[in-house]
Structure 1
Amino acid sequence: MNRVYVCSCFGVTEQQVKQHVENGACTPRQVASACKAGTDCGSCVRRIQALLGRGAVPRREPAVQKGPVLAAALDEAA
């Protein structure tokens, strides 16, 4: 069996993380509570997020501004 390590600090494999997810872990913190992965150097946290299905971080879109917001707020306060 070929082991793919997710966390080198604690020797946690991808299969172990997947097992914790199957057992109910939904966040990197819950995975860390179960096996310590992600609690030392932190380099594996992104991989854990990907295994949890959170690999894609949503992009922030610029807010649509329809005029001077600060001026409108000052007018309302007056």
Structure 2
Amino acid sequence: MYVCLCHGVSDKKIKQLALEEGICDVRGIKQCTALGSQCGKCIKQTKEILNETVPILYQKVS
């Protein structure tokens, strides 16, 4: 599903950046994509996705 409609950033892209690149915060996602640079409505949803995905990242490391 698209999280950022303004720039076409999907939940899959956010999860991919978190799991494969280790990006664990919205600031990091914004540096890799155009997320949140227009209307900003996607920031809350991005935080929720990261809150679900980041624990999985730490489970993989352990």
* Residue of structure 1 in register with 2:3 after alignment: 6
| Residue 15 of structure 1 pairs with residue 12 of structure 2 | yes
More contact order relative to length (CA 8 Å, sep ≥ 6):
2
User: What is the TM-score of this pair, normalised by structure 1?
Assistant: 0.61
Question: How far 1:26 moved relative to its partner?
Answer: 1.1
Q: Contact 1:7 / 1:44 at 8 angstroms: preserved in 2? A: yes
CA RMSD of aligned residues (A): 1.3
Tell me which amino acid in the other structure corresponds to 1:36. Answer: A
Higher Rg of the two aligned structures: 1
Structure showing the higher helix proportion among its residues: 2
* Residue of structure 2 in register with 1:26 after alignment: 24
Tell me which amino acid in the other structure corresponds to 2:2. Answer: Y
**Paired residues, number:** 51
SS in 2 for 1:52: helix
Alignment of 1:1-78 (within 5 A): 4-22=1-19, 23-53=21-51
User: Which contiguous aligned blocks of 4+ residues in structure 1 show a shift greater than 6 angstroms?
Assistant: none
User: What is the TM-score of this pair, normalised by structure 2?
Assistant: 0.75
